[in-house]
Structure 1
């Protein structure tokens, strides 16, 4: 599939690598695809990055039909561009779309469009260690109608942002607050879909965590307020007495692509890994008896974030002397090595753009 390209006549000044941060700068171009019930998905094009003009009655503003994804492109040491598991992102986008009554996209055509977009803005992929080109595909409902039902019109858009480390702390261990007051999701809800509303409802807890000096919130299940689920932008892992444990996917947890990648790496390295229910009391008990060896989060933006402190009911638990654990370091080195092309991709996860 060849996508029509309109190149910008006013290229932006590219930011310095040490000023990137996360999601602050955007490349020169974007991909746009329209949907109507009469024509289906149509008129895909790559155009200069620009504001979106929407009717004030567009359903996305009123009923929240909005989903998104996050993935990355990297530059290898020999100058090739790599995409990391983009097929899984478009498959998950369609899973979210089904939950929110949004028409599915053609995953292969979306991948081809993404490849072309990355090629057009290839010069925006930063090459410095720890940097990448963050890619944000999203779909919004655009029909101007206040009836409470699914939209008949949508836009699928891909924008890209050269990014540095997600956290100001970098790869250093972060501080996480365990949430007990608010609830993020329940089984049967939208917890396993990557929809904007999930993040909106989590902001109040994140705000309170930040006010107390913590990076993010660790959510418990919405029914019993007992079992660990996930962190705001990450899935969570615990290394207890030599075994890595992560909450199983029950329908209220986002099935992270980085999570899945880490599980496969752990199995490949013959490190014991369990996907199961894990109560916060089990974590506290493991810390008390000295068997809680590591805690880390995984996600596209941060890749891996070791956790150095957990706040639970006013008590702060220090994890591994606030140092990066051996397993956390191994997983980070392995995944970033594959993503940057520095080590062999035994899993066939990367797509090279030549």
Structure 2
């Protein structure tokens, strides 16, 4: 007996999640097949086989459950002593192996095939059921890190890149699943587009068709988003909130913008007295700018307090001024009236009257002089 044929099969171990390589039968050169009992099948019990080069190839080949290989191994002295007794009977660890006939072999092969096929079908069904159970739209929407798309979104292309990246991160790679999930992140104003696509292409169409239509429908070819992002300036509130919002606006219209330009555009939107406090040479990333801006919040708060103090003093003075009665109205005996003397109607009337009297007197004097100079004889 120069060699023996061993049949290796990958079976589930004691832990269903682990796999174990087993020896199920041994065949000699005369095609006699001997079955290995189930309790003696794990290959870890067969030291003589594990030491051979052939087994190392088998171990590298069998990676998945239920895979099998039948290989010949040279019958060395150690191998013969392990699997044959002195009388030539096939045995292992004192257990005589059962020889099977052609009819029995065919029956066992059929049963094993049927069992193996049924096991694979059940495993595939379990995996499909697990995938179906995991694909819960509500749970998936909570896992996504992306805002809903609205008509106010600056760049539809940038939004779509983030959406597809999130699908890849969560494990959504089927077209129909991407189409289903897309609906969850569309604003109410975009639902008409989605419903129209369902009518035209159905939910079973390719994701590329939906993506192309979506980007072409909502692409903004004008300059309004870019103009708004670049010219966006600080008005009121927190300096840090302004800086973060402007960074987001600029990145939405141009993700590839370089860091120095991004920092410059953010700083130019700040008040001049705040921007002058920032050392440009110390800025390498936007995080450096944000850290400095947080330290300058007190300057903005101080300026706001001072402005409120000035406005308050002005209002107090104005209130006190209006609390005094108009002296012109009191002099003219028109009653007690509260208004500024500079806009008093009676003051303006007196000025007009004095001007008219002055003009009238001047004119009369000039006329009298002229009449006196005239010769009465003429």
TM-score bucket of the superposed structures, by smaller chain: under 0.3
- Greater CA radius of gyration, 1 or 2? 2
- Give the structure-2-normalised TM-score: 0.20
Larger relative strand fraction: 1
Larger relative contact order (Cα-Cα within 8 Å, sequence gap ≥ 6) = 1
